[in-house]
Structure 1
Amino acid sequence: MSAPDALRGDVAAGWEPVRDAFAAIMSGPEERGAGLHVIHRGRTVVDLYGGSDGKGPNGPDTRQVVFSASKGIAAACLAVLADRGDLDFDAPVTRYWPEFGRHGKSEITVAQLLSHQAGLIAPSRPATLADVLDGRPLADALADERPRWPLGRPGYHAVTWGTLADELVRRITGARLGEVLAELVCRPRDLAISIGTHLDPPPSPVYAATRVPLLVRLTTAVFARPGTPLWQALTVHGALTEPADLWVRRPETLAGQLPAANGVATARSLAQLYAMLLPEAEDPLISDRTQRAAVRLRAAGRDRVLGLPSAFGCGFALHSRAWRLGSPTAFGHPGIGGALGLGDPRRGLALAFLPRTMPADALSDARHRILLDAVTTVIGP
């Protein structure tokens, strides 16, 4: 069935509630556009687009930065290395990166690192923007740090998770994570996804919300004030000072190795990536055994950075108060810009939503709830 005139794309019969939910979101006064792609049991059931990027209407080829949804993309790349036998989630990080073991970190495993337990949210001394964008100087600085907290509970590594994952990949393969992602995952499957690349034309911009509720402003002023764990994690101890929607537009930012933040994707390709991570996939990216290991719960509890209960597998966010993924069996990752990519093995579901307007509150994006509730209406909880 074709979507209404206000939207572009198609939905399969029975999936009209999701089309209606997407249309309701697009009718919002601040919405500049979005893409939504849903795959169920190996079949595309929703492929919808709305709005424009100023050069033309949003469509299947519209690419945009997905912010922390990049972590799910990078986690898929790491899972491929694990499936090839190049990476062992349960091995100590020092097997691949000996210098990481300084200052009491020698027993930290890859799984603990990837599940945000290492306590390396930022260096103790301020980093520079060049250090963050290059990655390797920041990785060296983090290797020389002591963990801020004992292992056990997660502490969200908003930016440094990508730096640590990138250095781990470089130690194993000699290449950067974005390069390995392209070679092993994206090019062979024609996925329009990249990390740290020069794109021409550049990806479509995202825009900050202009209407921010007073409670959100007050909460941000308290919990993200300079010096707090959240501020340190988001800014890498002051290295990133611009608003995210401006900072991520810079060519040097897009070209940097930032697997936690600067992934670029289309909605269709992001959904296809998650579909390939499901056990029922026709063209599986990894074995079922590796998939279970990658999405198995590795850390959960009140997050030391976010202040809410969070849960993680090996890089994938798992359903929790911090990460509302619509189902207890879902895995994936949202981003501060509102992007969401997820897979749900039990329901055979893969979904990607890429909005062009950032939410006022990144940890409580009402658009996600509206879409995921509509999906549940169609296929059940």
Structure 2
Amino acid sequence: MTTAVQGTCAPQFENVRAEFARNFAERDEVGAAVAVWLDGEPVVDLWGGHADADGTRPWERDTLVTVYSTSKGMTALCAHLLADRGELDLDAPVARYWPEFAQAGKGEVPVRWLLSHRAGLIGPREPLTAEDVYDWEKTCAVLAATEPWWEPGTAQGYHAVSFGFLVGEVVRRITGVPLGTFLRTEITEPLGADLYIGTPASEHGRCARFIGPAGDGVLSSAFPGIPDGTVRSLDSHPFAPLALAMRHMPMGDVNSAACRSAEIPAGNGNATARGLAAVYSALGDGELVGPGTLAALRERQSRPGERDLVLGAFAEEDLPFAWACGYMLNESHYFGPNRTAFGHGGAGGSLAFADPESRLAYAYVMNSFGGGTTGDDTRNLKLVEAVYAALGQAGRAA
């Protein structure tokens, strides 16, 4: 059965519409949306499919969906907005803003290491429950008291869930409001961007149901090799670092009202593709922060040849991967051909990025689990290739 693609698309980008339709016909897409902004204006705004596995709810123009770690780009932006205003120094100790963080030998850990996944805090020493993770104060207190899993600054390891609490608490201590509130009042509402971290109950009816590998919204079911229970050391199992993130800080069912309403800034953002693209367009065009901050947030924090202790378990040996301050750098060219592009992907396949060189912003969201966090989902890659083909540029580098 052919899935109708709805929305608008500039004539130059009709190949994007065609590729988006192929995702439904050939790549098992259920429900999705893709948006592209060029020179500060929307040129692609497409959606289609269904908001549930049973096909009873059509995907609408304003359908929200969980974007998992694509949320991290929005969380990082809140910190960079404060840095741009002179209220946050990325090289200052976290404890300057969050005194309790100095416990367990972390007194000199700078904010920069939180943003670049170098703080060694991929999870607490003992597992939390999903209900614990929904409790902001409790989770932050546990992380503040946790001894790092490696010497901070000496290695990078993806802080899959903890990232949002660590960066978010610094933002909260400076501003006096939760990160989700700061994001909404300072960034998304002024831009008219439809996305939330801590989704109000009034918006839950617009949320698509995420369809994970087991047919539910529990992400840990995507990784059957991860052991249950407490992980005592990083070498206790091949996937131990990821187990720390997913078993020690579980998000629970992202389709539940409790999860949608909670603030888990590393992973439970609900957004439209249009909303994400609007924010990245404003960021890449210099509307949100000045040129110095834009350059600083893209500055490479990873060492040459350094592998990520968490994501490395799933990456090809020759896959270049590097962190900036809260963003993925485009060394694998999943964000198109330009090395200056930056953004973040999410588990399942969502992706959003800015490409200042091409004056472009892109976002893709969906509800059927496919690829990983780095932007390597085939559905996304084909769309990105189509976008750059429309610009007359080569797609992903060979």
**Equivalent residue for 2:309, pick from 289, 301, 304:** 304
**Equivalent residue for 2:334, pick from 324, 338, 343:** 324
Gap change, CA 1:298 and 1:329, over 3 Å in 2: same
Equivalent residue for 1:207?
Answer: 211
Gap change, CA 1:360 and 1:82, over 3 Å in 2: closer
Partners in 1 of 2:133 and 2:359 — Cα distance? 37
CA shift, 1:220, in A, is 4.4
**Cα deviation digits, residues 250-273 of structure 1 (max 9, x gap):** 111111120001111111111000
**Contact 2:73-2:344 within 8 A present in 1 as well:** yes
**Cα deviation digits, residues 159-201 of structure 1 (max 9, x gap):** 0001111211121112110011111112222221111132334
Partners in 2 of 1:156 and 1:330 — Cα distance? 20
- Report the residue type matching 1:136 in the other structure: E
CA shift, 1:344, in A, is 0.9
Query: 1:367 aligned to 2:375?
Result: no
Equivalent residue for 2:6?
Answer: 8
Equivalent residue for 1:197?
Answer: 199
Partners in 2 of 1:39 and 1:89 — Cα distance? 30
Equivalent residue for 1:292?
Answer: 295
Partners in 2 of 1:199 and 1:358 — Cα distance? 24
Equivalent residue for 1:378?
Answer: 390
**Cα deviation digits, residues 98-125 of structure 1 (max 9, x gap):** 2212222222211111111001011112
**Equivalent residue for 1:275, pick from 274, 277, 281:** 281
Equivalent residue for 1:167?
Answer: 169
- Report the residue type matching 1:91 in the other structure: A
Equivalent residue for 1:214?
Answer: none
**Contact 2:342-2:354 within 8 A present in 1 as well:** yes
Partners in 2 of 1:274 and 1:201 — Cα distance? 22
CA shift, 1:320, in A, is 4.0
**Cα deviation digits, residues 28-80 of structure 1 (max 9, x gap):** 36321211100112222211111122565323311111111110111122221
CA shift, 1:230, in A, is 0.8
- Report the residue type matching 2:118 in the other structure: Q
Equivalent residue for 2:236?
Answer: none
**Equivalent residue for 1:257, pick from 241, 255, 263:** 263
Matches within 5 A, 1:70-219: 70-150=71-151, 151-202=153-204, 203-209=207-213
- Aligned Cα RMSD in Å? 2.4
**Cα deviation digits, residues 322-341 of structure 1 (max 9, x gap):** x8322422111111132111
Partners in 2 of 1:120 and 1:160 — Cα distance? 7
- Report the residue type matching 1:45 in the other structure: V
Gap change, CA 1:320 and 1:137, over 3 Å in 2: farther
Gap change, CA 1:30 and 1:101, over 3 Å in 2: same
Partners in 2 of 1:299 and 1:365 — Cα distance? 23
User: Which 10-residue stretch deviates more, 173-182 or 311-320?
Assistant: 311-320
Gap change, CA 1:362 and 1:186, over 3 Å in 2: closer
Equivalent residue for 2:235?
Answer: none
Partners in 1 of 2:199 and 2:5 — Cα distance? 30
Partners in 2 of 1:360 and 1:102 — Cα distance? 37
**Contact 1:60-1:267 within 8 A present in 2 as well:** no
- Please, which runs of 5 or more residues in structure 2 have no aligned partner? 232-239
Gap change, CA 1:166 and 1:210, over 3 Å in 2: closer
Q: Percent identity?
A: 39
Partners in 2 of 1:157 and 1:328 — Cα distance? 24
Partners in 2 of 1:319 and 1:193 — Cα distance? 24
**Contact 1:129-1:240 within 8 A present in 2 as well:** yes
CA shift, 1:314, in A, is 1.9
Query: TM-score, structure 2 length as denominator?
Result: 0.84
Partners in 1 of 2:353 and 2:274 — Cα distance? 12
State the SS of the aligned residue for 2:68. coil
Partners in 2 of 1:137 and 1:241 — Cα distance? 14
**Contact 2:120-2:149 within 8 A present in 1 as well:** yes
- Report the residue type matching 2:274 in the other structure: R
Gap change, CA 1:5 and 1:99, over 3 Å in 2: closer
Partners in 2 of 1:36 and 1:139 — Cα distance? 34
CA shift, 1:6, in A, is 2.5
CA shift, 1:362, in A, is 5.1
State the SS of the aligned residue for 1:118. coil
Equivalent residue for 2:66?
Answer: 65
**Equivalent residue for 2:15, pick from 17, 23, 29:** 17
- Report the residue type matching 1:263 in the other structure: G
Equivalent residue for 1:231?
Answer: 243
